[in-house]
Amino acid sequence: MRRPPPPLLLACLLCAQAVLNAACGGAGRWGAHPKSFYHWKAKVSIGETERRYFAGLGCERLYMRFFDVDAAPSGGSAPAAPMAKVEPFDGAALAAEYVPTVFITNRTFVKMPPEGRVRLARNVSSLVESVRSQNKLAASGEIHVDCDWTAGTRDAYFAFLEELRAASGKDVSCTLRLHQIKFRGRAGVPPVAKAVLMCYATSDPGDGPGRNSILDMALLKDYMEDAASYPLDFDVALPLYSWAVVTNHLGEVKLVNDVAARDLGADAAHFQYAGGGEYRVKEDFFFRGLYLNKGFSVRVEGVSPELLREAKGYLDGKLRRGYGIVYYHLDRPFLEAFSIRDLE
Amino acid sequence: MRKRLLQTILLAAALLGCALQTGVLACGGGDYTPDTGFYNLFMQEIIDDARYYPFLLTEGGFYRSADRGGGKNENIEEWAAYLGIAYDDARRLVFDSASAALEKLLGGAPAPEAGLGFLTPEFAAKHKAALHYLVVAKGLEPYMSVGGAYEQAWDYGDGVPDLRPASDLDYDETRAMLQKEWREAPDKELKLRYGYQLVRFAHYSGMYDDAVAFFEDCVAPLGHTPPMYYHALSQKAGALRGRGDVAEANADFFRVFAHSNNLKEAALVSIRFTDDVSFQEFLEKAEGDQERNDAYLLLGFTAFSNPLNAVEKIVAATPDAIQAKVLMARAVNTLERLLLPTSPYASPYWLGGIDDYRDAGEAAGKAGRRRYPEPPNDKTRAFLGDAMRLSARLAESGDVKGKDFWLITSAYLHFLDGDYATARKHLGKVADQGGKYRVQGRNLGMYIDVSEPAAITPEVEGALFAKYRDLLGRERPPRQASSPDGTPEDWFSYSTRSFVRDVFANRYYLQKEYAKSFLLHHDIDGLRLHPDLGLLDQLEAFFDKPGKTGFEKVIVEGIYPYRDDDPGRVREKVDVHGRIDYIRGVVHLADADFDKALTAFSRMKKREMEIPRDIFGYNRIECFDCAGADVMATDYLEDFPYIAETMDEKGLADALVRLREAGKKAGGGDGELAAKANYLVGNFVYNTTRTGYYRGVTRFSPSSSHENGAYYGADRADILDGTYFMSFHQYHKNNVAAARSYLEKALGQAKDRELRARIVFALSKCELEEYYDGTDAAAFAGRRRGAYGDDDGILITDRRRFEELAGYDDTEFYGEVASRCKYFEYFINNRL
């Protein structure tokens, strides 16, 4: 049993800590969290704003989604194939280490035999390399995989991650979702050195108004109760995005990406504010490619600087160790809702 | 870029191919039939226009009608008109004739095989150019497809994908040949067809610019727009898509949709696949009512849109437009899916958005006895109201010529709303009494008559039975030939019949006439899934009731089970009382009420079971699929000579009664015998619980292997939960407590340590099962059953009987258990 430190020493330590805090300006007890971003669009358009924020936050890495992988549910006839490959772009547009990121649907792994995993690992590895070389990106030592696996696909997915490491010769990292932290017994712990915990999507937008499905602090805290004891070191991903949740005449829900609250308020011809953050559609029209009928209701969900600050403060207190923050995602309309300071 | 769009096209083609082949069934995998789960009473085809049947509402692909009246091949019709021959002759010529035979014909040979007898040399001379075209077309046909995309999928980069097999042909040679033919074609029709071949060939070869150019140079200038023009236009649209001109491609696909009968679905699939369709442009560029209304149809067609908005827009200009009816039919079908589910307590809507089936069961239980069909709730009330008002308005509008559709739709919607008076009123005004209207009208009248009465009193029952005796009086629909006016009869469709029966079943249930409610869906053997003594008594009483009404006589027939072997689904006139007593007896056995079991079994005339005596033994191994001799071991049976080698159910009950009595004697020489007797009874009860090898005995299963019977949890013990007896939860009492009770008694009496070791081991199995069941709350308080990572809890801590058994390491039995029971072995090696 160790003796507690003598009072004077303690005072000195606390003093030093306070100085450190002041110097780092809100960096927290655990030091500044290095920042990076996800990039998730198929069509790359990195411009001035993106560069400014990226550099302003001292970012070095960009997790760029190179492609998705999906398999048709019937399995046999339509094997796992890549989808929505990122379109050719100019890697010089952003000074960053591009970390290839691949999104794989859960159903890809349903009933996948061992040879399927090996094949997929090889295919993923070589397509990653192909994208990298065609866009003249410097090689990254890492491949990042995003997959919302379940108890049923766990074994296949984990084996795939190992195969990918062997096939690519790179470090493999992956995403974690909140339910996988909470129910780690059922979900298992993936065989990676590092993971990124998506601290968002706390509920389903179809659950109705009254809760921010992107980030609800109460739910986040519930999921993360035992997060500090998770046997893997993880960075955290935080959301910057917003979307419109459209509810139709039958209570069904569709999402429209990249919509901010001001977009609805500015269009008085089509949207009537109905209170509580909800708008009613006044007449049939096309809204960002989705046909809305008169009578539908629309609300915007997003993340405000205050909510982001609250989330970060909570995570600091909860995790009590160093970790990186990866923002989802690097796109001007979302960035502009925050100042660089908000994101530090 | 190109590859992605090409894949989109291919996906579209695959989807289309799938939809065309499999009809209403969705593609790719098995038994999913998308249009089940609701009663589907409203006949959408009452729109009476076969061109638009594919756009009626179905979940899997495009709607497939049994009525193929409108399904002629436009290409063949065009040939028939051009050549002046019959449709069937044209079809044989184009599809069935061999290229070589046609060439011979052109060379002056006589008519080829039978069926093509009209291909005389005179005909050949007159239509030389046309036949030559067919030879060319048949030569190209095997190459006219797109292929190979999946193999290219793991590529990155911009190259033109290898579109085998079109690319198996030499592009320049083939192109030049077709262009020459086009120049030399003698008339517009053949020029159009060669132009079509050019556009298609270039498209499938990936030469998109060429394809578009060929359309503009070789097809458009002809000013000739029969159906084949739209086939060519469809190919051009595909090429536009391939090279990225999405908006233009969509405009062309839309035109194809609006003007072609055969290509509507393909065009629609192509449009729906795009990311940023601008229907607004369609509307602005639409020429004429047909195109504009089709644009509105597409707008209202997507699942997310409210079709009524589009209906309003259409009827504002053209009140009788078919597109408005299509959309309204879809709206009605949507409402049916929400308001008339066949399994009410499985429907999330019905329970207000509960998705988990476990919660659904609980909620249904709480929902209690509800009257079916239910009135609309918050989600549907507005939509149903809007639909009702709109159809009622059109039914009464002076601008609408074809009112019958709106009248019958309005009547049906008011029926869904529970407003039977208005429903009858509108139904009565429907003028057209033939064909589909006659059938739909008669059915709707029946739905109203059956749903409306507050209760099915004997008078109401008698009146309905008299009026609808044909449907209510028989089990299976009679085979009906087409009615005199040529429409296939729908009177006794499965969904109509089920709905009516289900409403009756619901009403009887609410009126607590449970026997009648039950028998409308189940026979006496059905009760084996959830043997309920109260309901058994009621069934027996109903079966024996004298002076049954006409309908009751029909209902009681349902008590007889169907013969397994008879495909005609004939019922077997079994001994109902015997069946009832068998179920009673088994229930009593499971309750460990051996006297009552014996009484019930003694009344039976026919024996049902054959039970080996090792039902009194214990498991050497756990294996439900293995033979009893390999699994069970027995002790002490010789001490009880009335336990026969094999017993029927009466013999078994008798033996159990005697064993129980033997177990009561205590002290003196009989103490050990009493202990053995109680031990054997305890074994019996345990062996017939859910994890016992002989569980089939108390669950009416011939064997205990995993394929037979359901051995899952006791979800709902009360069979009266739920709306009515259409489906009820399986339940069998899992009487571990009784097993434990007998074994504890035995332990209290036994002195011999070998016997005691056996009893303690048996008790440890009871302990485990009570843990699974969650019934031993005191012991396992605070621990969630089956919580992950909880293995050590159940295998080491709280295993009081294992702890006790560990003290018997001086016995022979201990050695047996320690090596064969893996849980015990783990316990011994790992306990703290």
Q: What is the DSSP string of B258-320?
A: HH-STTHHHHHHHHHT-SS--HHHHHHH--HHHHHHHHHHHHHHSTTS-HHHHHHHHHHH-TT
Inter-chain contact A293–B309, Cβ cutoff 8 Å? yes
Overall size of chain A counted in residues? 344
B403: which residues sit within 8 A by CB, 6+ positions away? Answer: B394, B395, B429, B431
- The region of weakest confidence among A61-75, A129-143, A167-181 is A61-75
**What is residue B354's three-state secondary structure?**
coil
Residue B344: per-residue pLDDT: 62
Average pLDDT over residues B695-702: 87
The residue type found at B691 is: T
Helix or strand run (H / E) with residue B649: helix B649-662
Average pLDDT over residues A216-229: 94
Where residue B27 falls among pLDDT bands split at 50, 70, 90? very low
Residue A321: per-residue pLDDT: 85
Residue B157: per-residue pLDDT: 59
Decide if pLDDT at B251 tops 90.
no
Instruction: Show which of residues 132-171 on chain A sit within 8 Å of chain B, judged by CB atoms.
Output: 134
Average pLDDT over residues A152-175: 95
Residue B33: per-residue pLDDT: 55
Where residue B724 falls among pLDDT bands split at 50, 70, 90? low
Give B452 or B242, the one with higher predicted confidence: B452
Domains in chain B, number: 1
Nearest-10 Cα torsion for B284, B289, B295, B297: 150
> Which candidate, B237, B278, B284, places its Cα nearest to that of B257?
B237
Inter-chain contact B306–A295, Cβ cutoff 8 Å? yes
Nearest C-alpha of chain B: how many angstroms from A284?
A: 8
Which chain B residues are closer than 8 Å to A296 by Cβ?
Answer: 306
Overall size of chain B counted in residues? 832
Residue A26: per-residue pLDDT: 43
Residue with tokens 């993971």: A195
Average pLDDT over residues A146-170: 94
Decide if pLDDT at B16 tops 60.
no
d(CA B317, CA B278): 22
Average pLDDT over residues B557-580: 85
DSSP classification of residue B482: P
B289: which residues sit within 8 A by CB, 6+ positions away? Answer: B317, B318, B321
Q: Which residues pair with A271 in a beta bridge?
A: A281
Inter-chain contact B302–A291, Cβ cutoff 8 Å? yes
Which chain B residues are closer than 8 Å to A294 by Cβ?
Answer: 309
Nearest-10 Cα torsion for A125, A129, A132, A138: 100
Which chain B residues are closer than 8 Å to A252 by Cβ?
Answer: 303-304
Q: Phi and psi dihedrals of A255, rounded to 5?
A: -105, 140
pLDDT (tens digit, 9 = 90+) per residue, A291-334?
A: 899 999 999 999 999 999 999 999 999 998 889 999 999 999 88
Residue B96: per-residue pLDDT: 84
Average pLDDT over residues B336-346: 76
Taking CA atoms, B328 is separated from A284, B46, B396, B402, B496, in Å, by 18, 11, 16, 14, 21
Residue A73: per-residue pLDDT: 52
Print the domain residue range for B32: 1-68+261-340
Q: Omega before B165 cis (within 30°)?
A: yes
Q: Omega before B373 cis (within 30°)?
A: yes
Decide if pLDDT at B123 tops 90.
no
Residue B31 within any structural domain of the chain: yes
Average pLDDT over residues A225-239: 93
State chain B's mean pLDDT as an integer: 82
The interface predicted TM-score of the complex, written ipTM, equals 0.76
d(CA B444, CA B225): 44
Look at the alpha carbons of A314, A316, A317, A322 in this order and tell me if their dihedral is positive or negative: positive
d(CA A125, CA A107): 20
d(CA A183, CA A190): 13
Residue B290: per-residue pLDDT: 86
Decide if pLDDT at B514 tops 60.
yes
Decide if pLDDT at B786 tops 50.
no
Residue B20: per-residue pLDDT: 30
Give A185 or A32, the one with higher predicted confidence: A185
Residue B5: per-residue pLDDT: 39
The residue type found at B721 is: D
The residue type found at A215 is: L
- Topology of domain A31-240+302-343, CATH: TIM Barrel (3.20.20)
| Sheet strands side by side (includes A278-281) | A253-257, A243-247, A297-301, A278-281, A271-275
Decide if pLDDT at B225 tops 90.
yes
Inter-chain contact B153–A82, Cβ cutoff 8 Å? yes
Contact status, residue A42 vs residue A76, Cβ threshold 8 Å: no
DSSP classification of residue B141: G
A79: which residues sit within 8 A by CB, 6+ positions away? Answer: A71, A116, B150
Where residue B595 falls among pLDDT bands split at 50, 70, 90? very high
**What is residue B619's three-state secondary structure?**
strand
Burial status of residue B395 (CB atoms within 10 A of its CB: 0-12, 13-18, 19 or more): buried
Decide if pLDDT at B313 tops 50.
yes
Residue A290: per-residue pLDDT: 85
Contact status, residue B762 vs residue B554, Cβ threshold 8 Å: no
Q: Omega before B729 cis (within 30°)?
A: no
State chain A's mean pLDDT as an integer: 88
Contact status, residue B743 vs residue B677, Cβ threshold 8 Å: no
> Which candidate, B206, B98, B193, places its Cα nearest to that of B145?
B206
* Structure token pair of residue B32: 């999913």
Nearest C-alpha of chain B: how many angstroms from A79?
A: 9
**Domain limits of chain A?**
31-240+302-343, 253-297
Decide if pLDDT at B160 tops 70.
no
Inter-chain contact B28–A72, Cβ cutoff 8 Å? yes
**What is the number of other CB atoms lying within 10 angstroms of the CB of residue A286?**
15
Q: What is the 3-state secondary structure (H, E, C) of chain A?
A: CCCCCCHHHHHHHHHHHHHHHHHHCCCCCCCCCCEEEEECCCCCCCCHHHHHHHHHCCCCEEEEEEEEEECCCCCCCCCCEEECCCCCCCHHHCCCEEEEEEEECHHHHCCCCHHHHHHHHHHHHHHHHHHHHHCCCCCCCEEEEECCCCCCCHHHHHHHHHHHHHHHCCEEEEEEEHHHHHCHHHHCCCCCCCEEEECCCCCCHHHCCCCCCCCCHHHHHHHCCCHHHCCCCEEEEEECCCEEEEECCCCCEEEEECCCHHHHHCCCCCEEEEECCEEEECCCEEECCEEECCCCEEEEECCCHHHHHHHHHHHHHHHCCCCCEEEECCCHHHHCCCCHHHHC
Decide if pLDDT at B314 tops 70.
yes
Average pLDDT over residues A216-244: 94
Where residue B51 falls among pLDDT bands split at 50, 70, 90? confident
Decide if pLDDT at B350 tops 60.
no
Residue B473: per-residue pLDDT: 75
d(CA B156, CA B4): 11
Inter-chain contact B153–A81, Cβ cutoff 8 Å? yes
Of A87, A126, A185, the CB nearest to B788: A185
Residue B282 within any structural domain of the chain: yes
Average pLDDT over residues A209-218: 92
Contact status, residue B325 vs residue B311, Cβ threshold 8 Å: no
Give B64 or B819, the one with higher predicted confidence: B819
A115: which residues sit within 8 A by CB, 6+ positions away? Answer: none
DSSP classification of residue B525: G
Residue A273: per-residue pLDDT: 94
Residue B567: per-residue pLDDT: 60
Residue B678: per-residue pLDDT: 97
Residue B566: per-residue pLDDT: 62
Show the DSSP H helices in B302-371 as ranges. Answer: 307-317, 322-339, 357-367
Decide if pLDDT at B491 tops 70.
no
* Structure token pair of residue B770: 């009570």
Of B154, B275, B306, the CB nearest to A127: B154
The answer to whether A291 contacts chain B (CB < 8 Å) is: yes
Taking CA atoms, B471 is separated from A2, B467, B478, B491, B513, in Å, by 88, 9, 9, 9, 21
Q: Phi and psi dihedrals of B185, rounded to 5?
A: -65, 135
Residue B796: per-residue pLDDT: 65
> Which candidate, A338, A312, A340, places its Cα nearest to that of A325?
A312
Which chain B residues are closer than 8 Å to A287 by Cβ?
Answer: none
Decide if pLDDT at B356 tops 50.
no
Where residue B249 falls among pLDDT bands split at 50, 70, 90? confident
- The region of weakest confidence among A16-25, B117-126, B239-248, B733-742 is A16-25
d(CA B328, CA B320): 12
Residue with tokens 């109905």: A274
Decide if pLDDT at A19 tops 50.
no
Which chain A residues are closer than 8 Å to B158 by Cβ?
Answer: 88
Residue B286 within any structural domain of the chain: yes
Decide if pLDDT at B18 tops 50.
no
**What is the number of other CB atoms lying within 10 angstroms of the CB of residue B357?**
12
* Structure token pair of residue B270: 């192509």
d(CA B93, CA B159): 40
* Structure token pair of residue A161: 């991650």
Instruction: Determine the straight-line distance between the first and last CA of chain B, rounded to whole angstroms.
Output: 65
Residue A291: per-residue pLDDT: 86
Residue B393: per-residue pLDDT: 96
Residue B721: per-residue pLDDT: 65
The answer to whether A203 contacts chain B (CB < 8 Å) is: no
Residue B8 within any structural domain of the chain: yes
Decide if pLDDT at B711 tops 70.
no
Give B26 or A92, the one with higher predicted confidence: A92
Residue B315 within any structural domain of the chain: yes
Residue B300: per-residue pLDDT: 85
Average pLDDT over residues A2-7: 54
Contact status, residue B633 vs residue B577, Cβ threshold 8 Å: no
Which chain A residues are closer than 8 Å to B1 by Cβ?
Answer: 87
Burial status of residue A28 (CB atoms within 10 A of its CB: 0-12, 13-18, 19 or more): middle
Which chain A residues are closer than 8 Å to B789 by Cβ?
Answer: 185
- The region of weakest confidence among A13-22, B647-656, B816-825 is A13-22
The residue of chain A with its CA nearest to that of B151 is: A81
Which chain B residues are closer than 8 Å to A79 by Cβ?
Answer: 150
- The region of weakest confidence among A106-120, B382-396, B596-610, B781-795 is B781-795
Residue B779: per-residue pLDDT: 55
Inter-chain contact B158–A88, Cβ cutoff 8 Å? yes
pLDDT (tens digit, 9 = 90+) per residue, B56-106?
A: 998 867 787 765 445 689 999 999 999 999 999 999 889 888 888 888 888
Inter-chain contact A88–B150, Cβ cutoff 8 Å? no
Decide if pLDDT at B377 tops 60.
yes
Which chain A residues are closer than 8 Å to B333 by Cβ?
Answer: none
Decide if pLDDT at B490 tops 50.
no
Decide if pLDDT at B2 tops 50.
no
The residue of chain A with its CA nearest to that of B280 is: A286
Residue A54: per-residue pLDDT: 95
Residue B170 within any structural domain of the chain: no
Of A186, A290, A294, the CB nearest to B788: A186
Inter-chain contact A130–B382, Cβ cutoff 8 Å? no
